[in-house]
Amino acid sequence: MQTQLLPVTPEALARAGALIRSGELVAFPTETVYGLGANALDGAAVKRIFEAKGRPGDNPLIAHISALEQLAPLIAVRPSPTARALMDACWPGPMTLIFPKSSLVPDEVTAGLTTVAVRFPAHPAARALIDAAGVPIAAPSANRSGRPSPTTAKHVLEDMDGRIPLILDGGACQVGLESTVIDMTGETPRVLRPGGITPKRIAEICGGVAVDEAVMRPLKEGEVARSPGMKYRHYAPAGALTIVKGEPGAVERAIRELYDESQASGKRPLILSLQGHIPAYGDRRVLSLGADEAEMARSIFARLRDADALGADAIFSEAVPADGLGLAVMNRLGRAAAFHIVEAEQH
C-alpha cells in the first residue's frame, strides 16, 4: 500500500473523510499527539487499527467527537453534573472521559470493556476530519505499538509507511503528550493517565480528584490495570533508559559518572537534559528536553526517537518533579524506562 502524506486542505479532508467512511485508516494531527483513526461505529474498520499498529487486542481506543451532541449516542448514562462541569471547562481539549458504553459502540473499540473513552479534541484538523467523515473516529496514537507516540507527521510516516493510505500533515503537536484519561464511572473523577489537564485543574473544576496509583509505578504481579494501556511497556526507545532524580547538582554529577562508566565499557551513551543544565555535561553527547515541563512534554517523544536514530544504547535522563504537567511527563518517561529511576545521592 502507498502511504500519501498531504497537508490539511479542504480536498485532503474530503478524501480523508471518504476513506474513513469506507472503512480505511487515516492518521491525523490532534493537539496531543497524532492519532490513527477509523470509523468508531464500524468494528471491522477499527480492527485494522490494531493490525496496523501491532496493538494488543485488549487495549481499548478513544472515540473522538467533533460536537457535544455526539457524546450521548455513545454512552449509556446521562453525564453527571461533575462530568458536565469537566466537559464545559476542558472540551474541546486534551481530556478523555470514560463512561458506561452504549450498544452503538462496537467491542473492537472498547476491547470488550463495558465502558467507552470519549474525547472532543481541540485541533481544527481533527475536528474537520470528524465532520468530514460524519461519524465519531476511534483513534489511538499513530505509532507502531511500543514506539514513542508521534508528534509530527514524519514520525507517523516512520512507523506507518506502507500500512495506511493517508497521513494528514498538520505540523507539530502543541501538547505533545496523550490526553488526560479520567474515569467518570465512580463518585470521584479518577485520573488513569495524566496529561495536559492536570489533577489540580480537575480538582478546581470538580472539587475532588483521585489519581490512580499505577500512574507512577509498574503494575504488580497479577494486578488488573484500570487503564489497560498502563500494563504495556510503552513509548520505549531501543536503548536502555535510566532516569536520575534528586538535586540538580547531584543529578548532573551522577549522570556524568554513569555516562563515563558506560562509555568506558564500550557503550554509546546519550544524555537527555533540561536546556539550562547542558553546560554541566561538557563535551558528552546531550540532547535538550527544553527549558521547562511544557517544552519537555512537547519534545520528549521526539527525543526518544532521536535517541534511537543516534544508535544510543544507554540513555540517561534528568527527572522533573512529578507534579502538574511534570506528573504526565514523568509518567511517560518512567514507562519508557520501565520505571528504572535512580536517586542521585546514591552515586
Residue 156 binding: pick among ligand AMP, Mg ion, none (C-beta 5-8 Å cut-off by kind):
none
Total of chain residues touching ligand AMP, rule CB under 6 A = 18
Residue 30 binding: pick among Mg ion, ligand AMP, none (C-beta 5-8 Å cut-off by kind):
none
Q: 3-class DSSP state for residue 189?
A: coil
Residue 6 binding: pick among Mg ion, ligand AMP, none (C-beta 5-8 Å cut-off by kind):
none
Total of chain residues touching Mg ion, rule CB under 5 A = 2
Does 32 engage in binding with Mg ion (CB under 5 A)? no
Does 178 engage in binding with ligand AMP (CB under 6 A)? yes
CA distance 226 to 116: 13
Within positions 215 to 244, which residues make up the interface with ligand AMP, using CB under 6 A? 227-229
For residue 92, cis peptide bond before it (omega within 30 degrees of 0): yes
Residue 66 binding: pick among Mg ion, ligand AMP, none (C-beta 5-8 Å cut-off by kind):
none
Cβ-proximal residues to 347 (8 Å cutoff; 6+ apart), any chain: 253, 254, 257, 258
CB nearer to Mg ion: pick between 141 and 299: 141
Alpha-carbon torsion angle 132, 137, 143, 145, nearest 10: -160
Asked whether the beta carbons of 156 and 150 are under 8 A apart, the reply is: yes
Strand order in the sheet with 95-100: 4-7, 166-169, 26-28, 35-39, 137-139, 62-64, 115-119, 95-100, 180-183, 190-193, 210-211
Residue among 75, 116, 255, 271 that touches ligand AMP (CB under 6 A):
116
Provide the mask over 33-72, with x wherever binding to ligand AMP is found by CB under 6 A and - wherever it is not: --------------------------xxxx----------
What letter represents residue 21's amino acid?
R
- DSSP bridge pairs for 273: 288
- Which residue is nearest to ligand AMP, using beta carbons? 229
Does 59 engage in binding with Mg ion (CB under 5 A)? no
Angle between helices 325-336 and 293-309 (to 10 degrees): 20
CA distance 94 to 286: 30
Does 30 engage in binding with Mg ion (CB under 5 A)? no
Provide the sign of the torsion angle of the four alpha carbons 106, 110, 115, 119, taken in this order. negative
Q: Concatenate the DSSP letters of all residues of 56-120 into one string.
A: -TTS--EEE-SSGGGTGGGBSSPPPHHHHHHHHHH-SSSEEEEEEBPTTS-HHHHTT-SEEEEE-
Provide the mask over 139-158, with x wherever binding to Mg ion is found by CB under 5 A and - wherever it is not: -xx-----------------
- Which residue is nearest to Mg ion, using beta carbons? 141
Does 299 engage in binding with ligand AMP (CB under 6 A)? no
Residue 315 binding: pick among Mg ion, ligand AMP, none (C-beta 5-8 Å cut-off by kind):
none
Shortest Å, Cβ 140 to Mg ion: 5
Q: 3-class DSSP state for residue 150?
A: coil
Residue among 38, 95, 98, 205 that touches ligand AMP (CB under 6 A):
98
Q: 3-class DSSP state for residue 10?
A: helix
Shortest Å, Cβ 346 to ligand AMP: 32
CB nearer to Mg ion: pick between 15 and 298: 298
Residue among 19, 117, 206, 302 that touches ligand AMP (CB under 6 A):
117
- DSSP bridge pairs for 35: 28, 141
Residues that bind Mg ion (CB under 5 A): 140-141
Residues that bind ligand AMP (CB under 6 A): 59-62, 98, 110, 113, 115-117, 140-141, 178, 181, 192, 227-229
